[in-house]
């Protein structure tokens, strides 16, 4: 910090909090819910941090928090003179008239502490910028530290009654809506019925062999969420934003991708494309930066969530993400484990569903029916553990299988197999694969003539 400038602080507000807590011990827990973190970082006055520690300990032990009790505790610990002696603590105890405003004062003190932390981070980044060899690592660390400043504090213990109340409120909302949907629509009716939609905080893996339709399902999810008024972030590590745009136009206009690429469209198709292109896709944001690390992704996702209130993130695809610089694993299995865990943490901290596309091994090709299984996930242990929902895609027609003993003809059929569902049922659903537009739709849908 600049030694010639006084850091953001309010000694009077800090005194008001301590005085209110000495006057009324019930003010201590109210203030502590806001003043979460290291007292040495929160309180500008060193003596106030020491007083707060002892005052809080007294309250926690069920003892009195008046000025005499606090002074005695500090005297016994050899800290009383460090804060200004008995006179200072006693005067604090006499200066409060009520504790009604303790929460307001606590928020002001926390705001000042965050401002000081912001200045410290800026100075630290400036020093690191002069000395850094790995600029990306410095930027990523800075984003993490800046993000931490915006948080009110870390979650801790909460009574189970709070969790059950939240669950019951969600149940009542679903009951009132007369719908099984509790999350964001997947874009497929049967998948919505099985899962209740994409759920906040969940990591969803959509896995399959190359060319099976993983990106298509991701675009279906993005379009459905945007149609429902949700902001969506699409991280495309395999395709450019223009190529993703082609997929979106093809699905929206029901026109073949090849038609869009070549420009050879009939008058009808041209009109449909023009209408689709004129539609607003504002709620969908695309980042096609190649070679992103997990730390880069988390930083960019935080910005999108905070600035644009993103409600869904789609990552295409998991194996193209790079691990953190300096933590690169010595084998692919460990890399996958680190990336998988980081994506789950992203879903939890942003409290949004994160859909990650994932390649399967060649396991299905060795089976007569070519159907994928959970064990076909590359390094399946870590992925299965972190994922809340695993969806496997299967198109029998792709392998020359024209008939299925259970369903009959496989023409234009895409099986969407819910192989793992932490909160519900598993099993396959059938959808329609529209090859020309690379679209996955409800089975009842038929392309208009």
Is the CB of residue 361 less than 8 Å from the CB of residue 376?
A: yes
Instruction: Kindly indicate whether the domain formed by 1-156 is annotated with CATH number 1.10.860.10.
Output: yes
- Strand, coil or helix: 198: strand
In 3D space, the residue among 359, 354, 298 whose CA is nearest the CA of residue 332 turns out to be 359
C-alpha dist (Å) from residue 316 to 112, 432, 444? 41, 21, 27
> What pTM was estimated for this model as a whole?
0.66
In 3D space, the residue among 49, 38, 63 whose CA is nearest the CA of residue 15 turns out to be 49
Question: How far apart (Å, rounded) are the C-alpha atoms in residues 64 and 67?
Answer: 9
Question: How far apart (Å, rounded) are the C-alpha atoms in residues 231 and 312?
Answer: 7
Q: What are phi and psi of 68, to 5 degrees?
A: -65, -45
The predicted structure's pLDDT at residue 446: 40
Going by the DSSP 8-state scheme, the letter that residue 322 receives in this structure is B
Is the CB of residue 77 less than 8 Å from the CB of residue 54?
A: yes
Domain ranges of the chain: 1-156, 183-442
The predicted structure's pLDDT at residue 154: 46
H helix intervals, 132-213: 135-150, 160-176, 189-195
The predicted structure's pLDDT at residue 421: 92
What is the mean pLDDT of each successive set of 10 residues along the chain, which is 449 residues long? Answer: 77 93 88 83 92 88 89 92 91 80 91 88 83 72 72 58 73 69 88 91 91 90 90 89 84 80 80 75 82 78 83 88 61 76 86 90 82 79 84 86 75 88 89 84 58
The predicted structure's pLDDT at residue 367: 84
Q: Cβ of 39: how many Cβ atoms within 10 Å?
A: 16
Burial class (CB in 10 A: 0-12, 13-18, 19+), 362: exposed
The predicted structure's pLDDT at residue 72: 93
Task: Match 């972030």 to its residue by tokens.
Answer: 233
Question: How far apart (Å, rounded) are the C-alpha atoms in residues 3 and 449?
Answer: 75
H helix intervals, 188-324: 189-195, 214-227, 241-253, 257-262, 267-278, 294-308
Handedness of CA 21, 27, 28, 34 (dihedral sign): negative
- Give the angle 74-24-116 at the CA atoms, nearest 5°: 65
Is the CB of residue 329 less than 8 Å from the CB of residue 341?
A: no
The predicted structure's pLDDT at residue 52: 92
In 3D space, the residue among 207, 198, 232 whose CA is nearest the CA of residue 388 turns out to be 198
C-alpha dist (Å) from residue 232 to 203, 217, 276, 281, 386? 15, 14, 18, 10, 22
* C-alpha torsion 241→245→247→251, nearest 10: 150
The predicted structure's pLDDT at residue 191: 92
For the chain, report the end-to-end CA distance as a whole number of angstroms.
Answer: 70
The CATH number of the domain covering residues in 183-442: 3.40.50.300
The predicted structure's pLDDT at residue 313: 94
C-alpha dist (Å) from residue 343 to 183, 226, 239, 336? 19, 22, 20, 11
Catalytic residues: 238
* C-alpha torsion 322→323→329→331, nearest 10: -30
């Amino acid at each position: 910090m600049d030694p010639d400038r006084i850091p953001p602080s309010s000694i009077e507000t800090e005194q008001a909090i301590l005085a209110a807590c000495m006057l009324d011990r019930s003010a201590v827990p109210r203030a502590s819910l806001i003043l979460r973190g290291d007292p040495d970082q929160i309180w500008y006055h060193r003596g106030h941090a020491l007083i707060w520690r002892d005052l809080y300990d007294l309250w926690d032990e069920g003892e009195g928090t008046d000025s005499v009790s606090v002074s005695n505790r500090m005297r016994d610990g050899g800290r009383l003179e460090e804060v200004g002696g008995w006179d200072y603590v006693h005067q604090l105890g006499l200066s409060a008239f009520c504790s009604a405003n303790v929460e307001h004062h606590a928020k002001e003190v926390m705001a000042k502490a965050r401002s000081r932390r912001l200045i410290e981070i800026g100075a630290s980044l400036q020093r690191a910028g002069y000395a850094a060899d790995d600029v990306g690592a410095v930027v990523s660390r800075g984003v993490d530290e800046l993000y931490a400043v915006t948080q009110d504090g870390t979650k801790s213990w909460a009574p189970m009654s709070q969790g059950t109340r939240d669950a019951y409120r969600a149940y009542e909302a679903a009951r009132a809506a007369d719908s099984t949907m509790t999350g964001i629509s997947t874009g497929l009716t049967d998948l919505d019925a099985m899962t209740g939609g994409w759920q906040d905080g969940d990591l969803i893996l959509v896995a399959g062999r190359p060319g099976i339709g993983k990106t298509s399902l991701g675009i279906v999810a993005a379009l459905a969420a945007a149609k429902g008024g949700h902001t969506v972030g699409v991280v495309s590590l395999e395709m450019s934003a223009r190529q993703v745009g082609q997929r979106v136009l093809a699905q929206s206009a029901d026109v073949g991708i090849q038609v869009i690429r070549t420009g050879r469209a009939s008058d009808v198709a041209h009109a449909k494309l023009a209408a689709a292109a004129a539609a607003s896709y504002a709620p969908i944001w695309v980042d096609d930066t190649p070679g992103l690390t997990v730390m880069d992704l988390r930083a960019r996702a935080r910005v999108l969530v905070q600035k644009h209130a993103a409600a869904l993130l789609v990552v295409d695809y998991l194996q193209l993400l790079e691990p953190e610089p300096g933590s690169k694993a010595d084998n692919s299995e460990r890399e996958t484990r680190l990336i998988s865990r980081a994506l789950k943490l992203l879903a939890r901290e942003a409290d949004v569903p994160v859909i990650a596309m994932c390649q399967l091994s060649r396991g299905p090709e060795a089976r007569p029916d070519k159907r994928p299984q959970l064990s076909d996930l590359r390094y399946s242990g870590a992925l299965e553990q972190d994922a809340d929902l695993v969806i496997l895609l299967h198109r029998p027609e792709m392998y020359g299988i024209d008939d299925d003993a259970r369903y009959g003809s496989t023409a234009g059929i895409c099986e969407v197999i819910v192989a793992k569902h932490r909160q519900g049922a598993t099993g396959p659903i059938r959808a329609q694969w529209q090859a020309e537009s690379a679209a996955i739709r409800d089975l009842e849908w038929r392309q208009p003539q």
